Structure 1
Amino acid sequence: MDEDQDGQSLERGLARALARAGLSAPADLTRLTGGATMESWRFWADGEAFVLRRASSPELMAHRALDHPAEAAITRAVRGEGVVAPQIVVELEPEDAIGTGFVMRALPGTPDPARILACEEPALLLRQCASELASIHRLSADALPASIPGMDYREALTGLYKQFEEAGGDRPIIALALRWLSEHLPEPVPPRLVHGDYRIGNLLVDGSQLTGVLDWELAHLGDPHEDLAYACMTVWRFARIDRPAMGLGTLEAFFDAYEMAGGAPVERARFDFWLVYRTCWWALGCLRMGATWRSGADRTLERAIISRRTSEQELDLLMLLEGEAPEAERKRALPAPASDAEPRGEATSGDLATAISEWLATVKHRMEGHDRFQLAVARNALGIIARSSGGGAPVEDRVLAEALLSGDMTLAEPGLLARLRRIALDKLSKDMPKYPALAEARHQWIGEA
């Protein structure tokens, strides 16, 4: 890594932590790509590979149900019960002066979604993922730390309403989803351990073999259907949205494998509720990223960019809920897109953003590791600026959102679904035009090949 002051401080603090575990100072410390929420650093000590998982700022942990000591305790507990979770070797302490977190022994395999979804035996991997999830859900509460929180469904939904208001309360599609959730809230089931973030990207895979389950920071006691649904969200299927179960296969195969491995029978209505809930949860989580960046608690580029991924989840929510509309509304033609003015004269802000992006592409070969990832994120940001410079129809509408939230307006309202579809298409086309579900929505809604 670069020998700047921050890098040297990290190495010194990590060396102090490793010494408590009887390990040598770190070598080849390298920031792994991704990790807008938590940092991950890979390094070597005494001839073995390890990974540091940390939050550099206490503010990043302020609103989390689990702090790092609790996450470490849960990870140790589930590993002790046979789950393929990492082995934690030492936790950071305040005197290390490098934030909070812990060091894990590295497991084989890759978390890279592109490589995982291109594996030779996706059906085999899907069965393993289902089996491991069933094992997690069978764990006795007696084997888990007392610090693990429980989930009250109604309280959790109230929390989403609060987040929506804090974010402005002006996104009609999210309001539509919140109203649907309040009308379909299921009765509680006996609580089981829920991983909370079980998906492609948080799993390690070697070939077609599941080798590790990572990131237990959202673990809680709740409804196992939440894990099943979250794993199948469109966003976590990446380019394989044609495979509804984790981007690997069919829902039927996923559910069958889960039940054969000892999981409780899957109730489709519960699965559907949690699919909408977690999609709405992530939409609001993306929105909050913008506020976090503006507050100064985390000024990373990834944090700002993820806030623009709200439009991905708004599109997904509309595709999940549009079946509630009458057939005539589902067949209604969409209004024309907002037209962008053709630029003239001097370079526009969009032109300048494009020019900078093109220049960054010429220096990409000089970057490696996390810097190369950051460069890609920066080009993504410039693309958003360029595509948004011409204006377009507004996506915020407090009056409409309030009408949908209260139930005074539904998808039976003539022309509403078509209007929401147009908003979702136009916004996502500017924010994340390569999002795989966008092409599917265009095909379904406007017949575009």
Structure 2
Amino acid sequence: MTGQPATTRDNAAEAVAALEQGASAEQDKLAALLSPLLERARLGALDRHSLTRLTGGASQQSWAFVAADAAAERRAYVLRRLPEDAPLLDNAIGPECEAAAIAAAKRAGVPVPAVRHVLVPSDGLGRGFISERVEGETIPRRIQRDPAFSEVRPRLAAECGAILARLHQADMRSVAGLPHLPPRAKLERLRMLYRRLAFRRPVFEAAFRWLEDNMPTHDATRGPALVHGDFRLGNLIIDTNGVAAVLDWEMAHVGDPAEDLGWLTVNSWRFGNRSLPVGGLGTEADLLAGYIREGGVEIAPADLAFWRIFGSLNWGIGCIEMSLPQGSDVLPSIERAMIGRRSSEAEIDILDELLVLQ
């Protein structure tokens, strides 16, 4: 009986060693391709020891590294790449379009990491881009609770509104290939995904009916805008001065500007602070005041409610999709199963919203 635990430990150690060896080989291969690219792009010489894969990213990889220029000044960058054999997520735009959307947002005054190089086939790294690395915090619970952010926290909801107002006034003409997804198109895409899953939930069915019956109507002052598509805590870098950068633009599209504001108020993105609808940080009044002050158009409470219910439905269906088998190249994991369980939380959020609107 005493031999089994030792065997188990040996097997685990061998598995860890194999993973570390594979990661090291991947790092060496990447460094060999990245070094000459940085020279060509005049970004400096790669510090190979600094090359580190970042966590997160369902389809794209993110690698942090440091490069030194001719004056020996060290700068931090992030390589965001889609390997050649990796598929894009549903609704995700390509990295080239993502980089163009980031550039358009930057010109409009949105804080974003500056894109320094967009990959081309001859780089040998797949599709993607290199951007400057911005320091700060992304973990929601720390932003909500850490004393370091106590002074800036009360201002964040209004600041998010102001940033979204600038984004929604951005010139989109330089961003080729952005999908145009008005409310009805977004709803139909989500319905198609739901039917593909062959999963039926009465609450989700009720949400689809309510959304169909309460589609936003736009007046002449509220046309389509550049929409981030996933603007929330977790995709924002916060420092002691406020929002330092907006990340993860792969869901960007042309659509209803109210979508970004409604998504930010979904209960799942309050991370336990239910009483503060804007990311668990502030009120809708703060968010909309910042939005209007920066030139955003008037957003009706009914439109915010539409996108909040849509957001909970979208997240709930996404949780179910995450828990299902994803193909031979994706291993089952406890994390994916745990996310699948959260679909029930989205159902409760939908019911809460619908009861308020009765």
- Short-chain TM bin: 0.7 to 0.9
What residue number does 2:34 align with?
14
Counting matched residue pairs gives 323
SS in 2 for 1:60: coil
* Cα distance in 1 between the residues matched to 2:332 and 2:56: 11
* Cα distance in 2 between the residues matched to 1:324 and 1:133: 26
Q: Give how far 1:37 is off.
A: 4.1
Q: Give how far 1:87 is off.
A: 0.9
What residue number does 1:280 align with?
313
Amino acid of the residue matched to residue 14 of structure 1?
L
Instruction: Choose 244-253 or 95-104, whichever is displaced more.
Output: 95-104
What residue number does 1:106 align with?
133
Q: Give how far 1:256 is off.
A: 1.6
Instruction: Choose 27-36 or 227-236, whichever is displaced more.
Output: 27-36
What is the alpha-carbon root mean square deviation over aligned residues? 2.3
The superposition leaves residues 63-119 of structure 1 with CA deviations (integer Å, 9 ceiling, x where unpaired) of 344101111111122213322111111223345444422111111322121222222
Gaps of 5+ in 1: 326-449
Q: Give how far 1:62 is off.
A: 5.8
What residue number does 1:87 align with?
114
Is residue 343 of structure 2 the alignment partner of residue 310 of structure 1? yes
* Cα distance in 1 between the residues matched to 2:111 and 2:343: 32
CA contact (8 A) 2:108 2:169 kept: no
Instruction: Choose 191-200 or 112-121, whichever is displaced more.
Output: 112-121
What residue number does 1:49 align with?
76
Amino acid of the residue matched to residue 161 of structure 2?
A
The superposition leaves residues 307-361 of structure 1 with CA deviations (integer Å, 9 ceiling, x where unpaired) of 3332332222222223466xxxxxxxxxxxxxxxxxxxxxxxxxxxxxxxxxxxx
Is residue 295 of structure 2 the alignment partner of residue 295 of structure 1? no
What residue number does 2:7 align with?
none
Q: 1:79 to 1:201 in 2, by over 3 A?
A: same
Amino acid of the residue matched to residue 30 of structure 2?
L
* Counterparts of residues 322-401 of structure 1 (less than 5 Å): 322-323=355-356
Moved over 6 A (4+): none
What residue number does 1:155 align with?
185
Amino acid of the residue matched to residue 159 of structure 1?
R
Amino acid of the residue matched to residue 182 of structure 1?
E
Give 1:215's match in structure 2, choosing from 224, 237, 248. Answer: 248
Instruction: Choose 161-170 or 18-27, whichever is displaced more.
Output: 18-27
Q: 1:201 to 1:130 in 2, by over 3 A?
A: same
* Cα distance in 1 between the residues matched to 2:67 and 2:235: 24
* Cα distance in 1 between the residues matched to 2:139 and 2:278: 17
Give 2:171's match in structure 1, choosing from 127, 132, 140. Answer: 140
The superposition leaves residues 257-303 of structure 1 with CA deviations (integer Å, 9 ceiling, x where unpaired) of 21122111120001100111121112222222234x53235437455
Q: Give how far 1:225 is off.
A: 0.8
* Cα distance in 2 between the residues matched to 1:105 and 1:204: 13
Is residue 259 of structure 2 the alignment partner of residue 226 of structure 1? yes
SS in 2 for 1:84: coil
Amino acid of the residue matched to residue 11 of structure 1?
A
Gaps of 5+ in 2: 1-18, 69-73
Q: Give how far 1:16 is off.
A: 4.0
CA contact (8 A) 1:131 1:257 kept: yes
Amino acid of the residue matched to residue 171 of structure 2?
S
Give the TM-score normalised by the residue count of structure 2: 0.82
Amino acid of the residue matched to residue 154 of structure 1?
R
CA contact (8 A) 1:234 1:244 kept: yes
What residue number does 2:10 align with?
none
What residue number does 1:252 align with?
285
Amino acid of the residue matched to residue 158 of structure 1?
E
* Cα distance in 2 between the residues matched to 1:6 and 1:25: 16
Give the TM-score normalised by the residue count of structure 1: 0.67
* Cα distance in 2 between the residues matched to 1:324 and 1:83: 34
* Cα distance in 2 between the residues matched to 1:300 and 1:16: 37
What residue number does 1:193 align with?
226
What residue number does 1:174 align with?
204
Give 1:36's match in structure 2, choosing from 55, 58, 79. Answer: 58
Q: 1:296 to 1:272 in 2, by over 3 A?
A: same
CA contact (8 A) 1:195 1:218 kept: yes
> 1 or 2, which has the higher helix percentage?
1
> 1 or 2, which has the higher strand percentage?
2
What residue number does 1:123 align with?
154
